[in-house]
Amino acid sequence: MRAATRFVLVAVAVFVLLGVVGGTGFALGRLSASPPGQSGYRLPTKPEIAGRALIGKPTPSAPARFGLLEEITAIVESEYYDPAAVDAQKLTYGAAKGLVESLGEPNTAFADPTTTLLSEQNMQGSFGGVGITLGMSDATLTVAEVTEGGPAARAGIQAGDRIVAVDGRSTAGMSTATAVSIIRGEVGTRVVLTISRDGWAEPREFELTRAVIRPVNVTTRMLDASVGYLRLSSFTSGSAKEVEDGLIALKQQGAKGIVLDLRGNSGGLLQAAVDISSQFVGSGVVMLEQRRSIEPRPLPARPGGQATDLPLAVLVNRGSASASEIVAGAVQDRKRGVLVGERTYGKDTVQNVHRLSDGSSVRVTVARWYTPERQDIGQKGLRPDIEVAITDDDVKGRRDPQLDAAAEAVRSRLQTH
């Protein structure tokens, strides 16, 4: 049976729990980590995947190619000086990882079952959890954020708390992804977090019942009587509906113009990018997609967008990548609004994610994409129409000159609209 497939615009960070960990927490990670694979995984045998023959040499058959791996495995298992360190599963993981990494293209990668499951949950937009975002502080697993109303918040867990054990298992040396895989689970089941906090003489245990966690992906507010603000954190399966609902709510509150904030949004699903672009650009082309040597094909906007005729400014920065750049590129090329902020990341490829029989996955770059005017943004990004930087002093003073500039750009257009 063919493995499940999904088109993804791979992000530049890895989703872990309720958002992002990293500079400001997790950003939509779509399998950007590439841990080794799983025992029993059969490597691809299609010639175009496995590689081309040397000039004058026939391509080895699949048994010949992978028989070599069996030879190496047998030698390692029989001769390696520390037999306790030889793990057949890890060897298979390493072979799978090495195969795709040999292509030299970072977005083509292999992911183990744990990483695959976390990514799929993040793409779906909800999962069973306790409502915390995890990070590392001084090599210690730390609560970076607590979701209001979630199990952790109700139990009194706070941002800054250190998690020293999960279900009695020490977190010393534990990766964030591993911790997330343990803390998440079936709704209604329980997990025990052992927490250390400044001022406590001893760590304390918190028994939490997992609940459905839906990370806040879209936030809206009115900047003034006529300008609405919508922030999108990631492009998941439910993002398009969330954006549409957010725009409807803003218009009901009197919004005549929109500031769309895509700063730090590192990407997500291709279809979500097209559908969200359609909320702003109306009819016509959103992007061009090119697979192998085929002529680029246009992907059109869907009719019925909520903000196709409203003055628009899109906030972007170096953390705006992939799907964010599709939306921003469509807005810029179709002259539907202005880009404000800093140059974007520059990720111009599309990935196909295949779920394998053991729960692991392989992500393969299958296409490049271009803006409607065929801008090649690869590693260059999109240049904003209005360039505004944020300084350290701005951050310390809690100022946002980029948002101020975007709001002013919308107000200026409203005066002539």
| Position 225 in a domain | yes
The predicted model gives 396-404 an average pLDDT of 94
Domain containing 187 equals 127-213
pLDDT digits (tens, 9 = 90+) for 169-226: 999 999 888 899 899 998 999 999 999 999 999 999 999 999 998 888 899 999 999 9
Q: Is the dihedral of CA 252, 253, 259, 264 positive or negative?
A: negative
| Position 149 in a domain | yes
322 annotated active-site: yes
Considering the domain architecture, whether residues 251 and 178 belong to the same structural domain is answered as no
Considering the domain architecture, whether residues 385 and 401 belong to the same structural domain is answered as yes
CATH number at residue 362: 3.90.226.10
| pLDDT of residue 350 exceeding 50 | yes
333 annotated active-site: yes
Considering the domain architecture, whether residues 365 and 271 belong to the same structural domain is answered as yes
| Position 50 in a domain | no
Considering the domain architecture, whether residues 208 and 264 belong to the same structural domain is answered as no
Considering the domain architecture, whether residues 310 and 272 belong to the same structural domain is answered as yes
Considering the domain architecture, whether residues 226 and 188 belong to the same structural domain is answered as no
Residue 18's pLDDT band (boundaries 50, 70, 90)?
A: very low
% of the chain surpassing 90 pLDDT: 66
Structural domain ending residue among the three candidates 213, 235, 254? 213
pLDDT digits (tens, 9 = 90+) for 215-255: 888 999 999 999 999 999 999 989 999 999 999 999 999 99
Considering the domain architecture, whether residues 200 and 319 belong to the same structural domain is answered as no
The count of residues in the chain is: 417
Structural domain ending residue among the three candidates 183, 213, 243? 213
| Position 198 in a domain | yes
Considering the domain architecture, whether residues 330 and 357 belong to the same structural domain is answered as yes
CATH number at residue 134: 2.30.42.10
| pLDDT of residue 14 exceeding 60 | no
Considering the domain architecture, whether residues 203 and 234 belong to the same structural domain is answered as no
Catalytic residue selected from 181, 266, 322, 324: 322
What is the model's pLDDT at position 61?
64
Hey, what amino acid is at 197?
Answer: R
Catalytic residue selected from 112, 261, 333, 348: 333
| Position 40 in a domain | no
Considering the domain architecture, whether residues 275 and 198 belong to the same structural domain is answered as no
pLDDT digits (tens, 9 = 90+) for 269-307: 999 999 999 999 988 999 999 998 789 999 999 999 999
Instruction: Answer left, alpha or beta for residue 121, where phi above 0 means left and psi between -120 and 50 means alpha.
Output: alpha
251 annotated active-site: no
Q: In whole numbers, what is the pLDDT of the chain averaged over residues?
A: 85
| Position 56 in a domain | no
Considering the domain architecture, whether residues 204 and 238 belong to the same structural domain is answered as no
Strongest mean pLDDT among 43-52, 61-70, 175-184: 175-184
pLDDT digits (tens, 9 = 90+) for 154-166: 999 999 999 999 9
| Position 410 in a domain | yes
With tokens 């799978």, the residue in question is 96
Structural domain ending residue among the three candidates 178, 213, 248? 213
Catalytic residue selected from 181, 278, 324, 347: 347
Main-chain phi, psi angles of 355, to 5 degrees: -85, 130
217/19 Cα distance (integer angstroms):
9
pTM of the model: 0.74
The predicted model gives 97-104 an average pLDDT of 94
Instruction: Answer left, alpha or beta for residue 158, where phi above 0 means left and psi between -120 and 50 means alpha.
Output: beta
Number of structural domains in the chain = 2
% of the chain surpassing 70 pLDDT: 85
Considering the domain architecture, whether residues 187 and 234 belong to the same structural domain is answered as no
| pLDDT of residue 28 exceeding 60 | no
Strongest mean pLDDT among 14-18, 69-73, 322-326: 322-326
| Position 27 in a domain | no
The predicted model gives 123-151 an average pLDDT of 88
| pLDDT of residue 1 exceeding 90 | no
